[in-house]
Amino acid sequence: MPSVRVNGTRLYYEEHGRGEPLLLITGFTISSAVFEPVLDAYGAQFRCLIYDNRGSGRSGAPVRPTSMAELAADAAGLMRAAGVESAHAYGLSMGGMIAQELAIRFPERVRGLVLGGTSPGGPRAARPTLRELQALGGAAAGGWRDGERSWLARWLFSDEFRRDHPERVRELLPLFGRHRATPQGLWAHWWASVYHDTASRLHRIQAPTLVMHGERDAMAPIANARLLAQLIPDAELAVVPGAGHAYLLERSEASLALLTEWLARRGPIGPGRARTGPAERAEPLTRALGLPIGAARTGVSLARVMKDKLSTGGQHVATD
């Protein structure tokens, strides 16, 4: 079993293919086994580095909490241990949150940045409506076991894909339950996600960024992708037509084409400039305090949002 110790935790990882390095970062408590159906296609063009985040899959699961800052430091440390100085970083769902922190904290490690089906987090992020949650929650409670009828399938795949390709859905769903996370790993990922808020720091991202999103994503509303593309300096939005949250699997050829076309248009992309001075020296400390800092940052964001709403409401009343 290939693994390496990074920041005090054992991380499971694999390498596939040849070409420019591509770091694939998976989502909430899900192992990197979820990438298996696309590894041949991606490996034909990239040197793919995949791994299980701490707290999930085959990696270690420390009892203490974690944060997006620590998960991003794990990604940077894994690259270093694997002899990869820099790579295109492609994060999906919660993996996109990790990729944002990676690009902000370790810009010298990131060439092109791809944020798939993800969110900046915090109070400004869009969430599914109550009606959508009720519709999704009405499905059978079979998770990855009940094929296209399961609640998980409704979260991950579009209605059309589940209707037209039920056998494919049954093949793909078990990947999301393979190498299940421990309870402490699930809890750690939950709190790391709750206190993820990069909206005020996205302007620091140096890497050219492709924000990719399924047109019919029920888990992460597409408004999040638009917000990311708006706040990151050199970003563009690519919508995968008709696809749900797991667009990488549902529309594998189309999403790979969007990635390769974007990279071809951008030409060779080098890594960013490493942070220097106080920001660089403080990184280990802010990483160690990642969760309370994230909570404080989320609180500040909430106060700003509420202030803006009150201000807008006051102006509206004055004009009536």
* Predicted local confidence at residue 165, as pLDDT: 96
Residue 112 has pLDDT above 60, yes or no: yes
* Predicted local confidence at residue 304, as pLDDT: 85
Can you name the CATH fold of 3-129+180-319? Rossmann fold (3.40.50)
**Which percentage of the chain shows pLDDT scores above 90?**
79
Residue 134 has pLDDT above 90, yes or no: no
Reported as a single tens digit per residue, the pLDDT across 40-69 is 999 999 999 999 999 999 999 999 999 999
Reported as a single tens digit per residue, the pLDDT across 283-305 is 998 999 899 999 999 898 888 88
**pLDDT band, residue 316 (cuts 50/70/90):** very low
φ, ψ at 116 (rounded to 5°): -110, 125
* Predicted local confidence at residue 305, as pLDDT: 82
* Predicted local confidence at residue 276, as pLDDT: 92
Residue 318 has pLDDT above 60, yes or no: no
**pLDDT band, residue 279 (cuts 50/70/90):** confident
- Give 7's contacts (C-beta < 8 A, 6+ positions apart): 70, 73, 74, 77
* Predicted local confidence at residue 302, as pLDDT: 86
Q: What is the 3-state secondary structure (H, E, C) of the chain?
A: CCEEEECCEEEEEEEECCCEEEEEECCCCCCHHHHHHHHHHHHCCEEEEEECCCCCCCCCCCCCCCCHHHHHHHHHHHHHHCCCCCEEEEEECHHHHHHHHHHHHCHHHEEEEEEECCCCECCCCCCCCHHHHHHHHCCECCCCCCHHHEHHHHHHCCHHHHHHCHHHHHHHHHHHHCCCCCHHHHHHHHHHHHCCECCCCHHHCCCCEEEEEECCCCCCCCHHHHHHHHHCCCEEEEEECCCCCCHHHHCHHHHHHHHHHHHHHHCCCCCCCCCCCHHHHHHHHHHHCHHHHHHHHHHHHHHHHHHHHHHHHHHHHHHC
- Provide the residue ranges of all domains of the chain, joining segments of one domain with +: 3-129+180-319
- Reading the block at residue 217, the tokens are 């994503």
- Reading the block at residue 306, the tokens are 């509420």
Q: What is the mean pLDDT of residues 273-280?
A: 92
* Predicted local confidence at residue 128, as pLDDT: 63
Reported as a single tens digit per residue, the pLDDT across 179-211 is 999 999 999 999 999 999 999 999 999 999 999
φ, ψ at 94 (rounded to 5°): -60, -30
Cα–Cα distance between 20 and 39 in angstroms, integer?
A: 14
Q: What is the mean pLDDT of residues 116-134?
A: 77
Q: What is the 3-state secondary structure (H, E, C) of 206-274?
A: CCCEEEEEECCCCCCCCHHHHHHHHHCCCEEEEEECCCCCCHHHHCHHHHHHHHHHHHHHHCCCCCCCC
Mean pLDDT, the chain, integer: 90
**Is there a contact between 7 and 74 (Cβ–Cβ < 8 Å)?**
yes
- Reading the block at residue 210, the tokens are 């492709």
pTM: 0.91
